[in-house]
A and B are shown apart, each in its own frame.
Chain A
Amino acid sequence: SQQGEEDPQALSIQEGENATMNCSYKTSINNLQWYRQNSGRGLVHLILIRSNEREKHSGRLRVTLDTSKKSSSLLITASRAADTASYFCATALYGGATNKLIFGTGTLLAVQP
């Protein structure tokens, strides 16, 4: 079963706008990570947020985590055409096997120039 579910499944915006993607999960986590996948390529790690953190920034990326609601959001500010990709959240479960990540179904972001 999927631990992470992203919302929306697809998002289309204009260059310069902000893009927000959400991720919900089901069980207690150690950390949550976001990855980007360009078409036909592998995934690239973007950012990690630990279960005791509420917000984290990296460049134009802002991630929030609400463990009481079991949800996270990824905000990309001032989007560019090059941000067009699929974005996945992945959860590392509390306890259990080391470094085993469970991925969600992804959000397809299209940034129109």
Chain B
Amino acid sequence: DVKVTQSSRYLVKRTGEKVFLECVQDMDHENMFWYRQDPGLGLRLIYFSYDVKMKEKGDIPEGYSVSREKKERFSLILESASTNQTSMYLCASSRGQSKYSPLHFGNGTRLTVT
């Protein structure tokens, strides 16, 4: 089974802090994604990556950056955390170039910015 592991289930950070959310997958998937989930808004795509050192903006990239130095690891960075970034963050991965490959999700990181 594909396993997508997010390093923290819960995080509490202060406004202005730099925050790193880490995600690791163990199935050699090419594609990795970061979504945030908010009540009433569903999941919104922040950034995604199709290959090492490659990244593309999703629908809501403002205030975020990403890093993919190794194929199995995709990091989401909040350069200066703000209260409106309090949310559930979900990492996902999928295989190859096909549009028919399902996404495999981690269990999420619930981030609170105070």
Contacts and interface: CB of A to CB of B under 8 A. Distances in A.
A90 B92 CA distance: 14
B11 interface: no
A99 B90 contact: no
The bracket for how many chain B residues form the interface is 20 to 34
Contacts of B41: 2, 105
A42 B31 contact: no
Given A2-B42, A99-B31, A105-B42, A45 B102 contact: yes
Contact of B108 (A41, A99, A102): A41
Interface in B27-62: 31, 35, 40-45, 48, 50, 56, 58-59
Given A31-B100, A33-B102, A99-B97, A42 B107 contact: yes
B105 A106 contact: no
Contacts of B43: 43, 88, 103
Given A98-B50, A102-B45, A103-B43, A42 B105 contact: yes
Interface residues of A, number: 27
B99 A104 contact: no
B103 interface: yes
Given A43-B90, A103-B43, A104-B42, A98 B108 contact: no
A72 to B, nearest CB: 15
Interface of A: 2, 4, 30-31, 33, 35, 40-45, 48, 50, 88, 90, 92, 97-106
Nearest first, the 4 A-B pairs at minimum CB distance are A42-B105, A45-B102, A103-B43, A105-B42
